[in-house]
Structure 1
Amino acid sequence: MRENTVPAVDAAFTQLNMAGRVAIITGAGSGIGATTAVLLAARGAAVIVADISAAGCEATTEQIRRDGGSATPIVVDMTDESDVRATIDLAVSTYGGLHAAFNNAGIGSKGAPLTDMPLEDWQHMISVNLTSIFLCLKHQIRHMKNQGGGAIVNTASGAGVVGFPNVIDYVAAKHGVVGLTRAAAIDYAGHGIRVNAVLPGGIETPMLTSAMGKDEIVRSAVVRGHPIGRLGQSLEIAEAAAWLLSDAASFVTGSAMAVDGGYTCM
């Protein structure tokens, strides 16, 4: 009889445990980043809560600590290379290393046709949504190489694989995140470093709520774009990111995982 090599179900769930791991979450002051920070802490990780908002950092950190987890806040601008290095220095000095990173900080587009888009809006979008990911990967991977491995997840978007009208800056930046993810995954797989991306669809976050406004017609149109029939929740993206950062996803690298209710299938 052939030996069964499929792990037992309880072993698979054990692999989701993050005890003993140190994780950096950027954009952790609200929305998907905050939810992921809380989830990873609940699974045992020590979390560096990084965000440009001091109030957001403190709120997420307080929630983690209130729930019995370990977290340290840092107010940073992820487009500033010295700030990116500071998050890693804090992880190492406070908890002794860096095993996981969720590069999630980002902004939405003001929206304009290409021919009407101010250059400064384009440059700001690329800086925040793409260059920041490059800087994070650059310094996180440097540390992980010396440490012997790690796992990284970048937040892209459904707009990272399809086009949308009048948000060319956002679409270009998110396509860039997917490309960065795949190239980095190839370059550093031999160092034990896995790099993946999550591609959220419409998620109930402050950023999407602000973009939709209070117009129910707009909201209904956004919902209709998702075959699943609703918008997603931050926890649904957090669960995907947490899985990719865990040992349960040990054979997954270079993936651009759509977590979008079927949006990009349309």
Structure 2
Amino acid sequence: MSAPTSASMSARTSAPASPRFTDKTVLVTGGGTGLGQAIALAFAAEGAKVVVAGRSAGTLDETLSLIKAAGGTAAAVTADVSRAEDVRALVRRTVELFGGLDVAVNNAGVFRGGHAAADFPLEDWQTLMDINVTGVLHSLQAEVAHMRANGGGAIVNVSSNLGPHVRVPGVFGYQVSKAAVSALTRAAARDHIADGVRINAVSPGASEAPMSLLPGETEAEREVRMKEQSPLGRVAAASEVAAAVLYLASEDAGSVVGTDLVIDGGVSA
């Protein structure tokens, strides 16, 4: 399956009959590309005021343009989740822009692979831990600090099926980092549900995102590979992952706390 074009992504995230996030403020880290962009578009289509965050202003501006072209409300803020001060400033700016923070999606992440555990480069390990794990912690701490003082909220962390649910050779550091995100999510969920903050995770498998392409692989080649590797026979659409995130963030999931929702076409079943 090919990656979504701006037009196809917008079509799949058109506003439903009864938007669930009207007047809600939603923060999406890593919102400039791939799944983060799809998630941001989906929230905007359901009436949310969306802040997209990331390290590259250029990609954030693309997401911003797509949301505004569809009639949505959004703002872009550059931030590096590996820096706690950046994330605290990001949450403050979100509140300044739209008056609060109701939902946060901690999607920012990086991939490093190609090495077994004994040969894994320490610089790649440090990058994975800084962004995929500590970055989620920085984000969650700043988000919870606001939410518990302002009536609660919902947080969805983006993990992966690789690590928490299935292991493959040569992806050591990434798998460890995403297993940590899953454990962090469940532990934090127990800590903060009494504060009125619901915390959950999604764990996508291969999806309509550049990160799911092998080095040098084309989208057509990925499609052939997934027919062999996935019981479903294809990657997940970006809109399908976004729909799961929106469900966990919505009142429909009001009793869902500390879950890790796997979206991988049955690979880890």
Q: Could you state the TM-score of these two structures normalised by the residue count of structure 1?
A: 0.90
The equivalent of 2:133 in structure 1 is 130
Corresponding residue to 2:105 among 66, 83, 102 = 102
Equivalent pair of 2:200/2:259 in contact (CA under 8 Å):
yes
The equivalent of 2:93 in structure 1 is 90
The equivalent of 1:38 in structure 2 is 41
Query: Over aligned residues, Cα RMSD in angstroms?
Result: 1.7
C-alpha separation in 1, matches of 2:24 and 2:43 = 9
User: What's the CA shift for 1:182?
Assistant: 0.2
C-alpha separation in 1, matches of 2:221 and 2:59 = 31
DSSP-derived class of the 1:48 partner: strand
Percent of counterpart pairs with the same letter? 36
Task: Evaluate the alpha carbon distance shift between residue 61 and residue 105 of structure 1 in structure 2; reply closer, same or farther with a 3 A threshold.
Answer: same
Task: Evaluate the alpha carbon distance shift between residue 215 and residue 195 of structure 1 in structure 2; reply closer, same or farther with a 3 A threshold.
Answer: closer
| Structure 2: 5+ residue stretches without partners | 1-15
Q: Could you state the TM-score of these two structures normalised by the residue count of structure 2?
A: 0.89
The equivalent of 1:201 in structure 2 is 205
Equivalent pair of 1:48/1:87 in contact (CA under 8 Å):
no
What CA deviation, in whole Å up to 9, does each residue of 1:86-115 have, x standing for no partner? 210111101111000000011112320111
Corresponding residue to 2:153 among 137, 150, 153 = 150
Equivalent pair of 1:16/1:247 in contact (CA under 8 Å):
no
Match for 1:90: what amino acid?
R
The equivalent of 1:61 in structure 2 is 64
C-alpha separation in 1, matches of 2:67 and 2:19 = 18
C-alpha separation in 1, matches of 2:210 and 2:79 = 20
User: What's the CA shift for 1:217?
Assistant: 6.3
The equivalent of 1:182 in structure 2 is 186
Task: Evaluate the alpha carbon distance shift between residue 225 and residue 210 of structure 1 in structure 2; reply closer, same or farther with a 3 A threshold.
Answer: closer
The equivalent of 1:4 in structure 2 is none
User: What's the CA shift for 1:207?
Assistant: 1.8
Task: Evaluate the alpha carbon distance shift between residue 97 and residue 262 of structure 1 in structure 2; reply closer, same or farther with a 3 A threshold.
Answer: same
What CA deviation, in whole Å up to 9, does each residue of 1:31-69 have, x standing for no partner? 110011011011011011111111110000011111111
- How many residues align structurally? 253
Task: Evaluate the alpha carbon distance shift between residue 151 and residue 213 of structure 1 in structure 2; reply closer, same or farther with a 3 A threshold.
Answer: same
User: What's the CA shift for 1:248?
Assistant: 1.0
C-alpha separation in 1, matches of 2:40 and 2:208 = 17
| Structure 1: 5+ residue stretches without partners | 1-12
Return the index of the structure with the highest Cα Rg: 1
DSSP-derived class of the 1:204 partner: coil
Equivalent pair of 1:141/1:193 in contact (CA under 8 Å):
yes
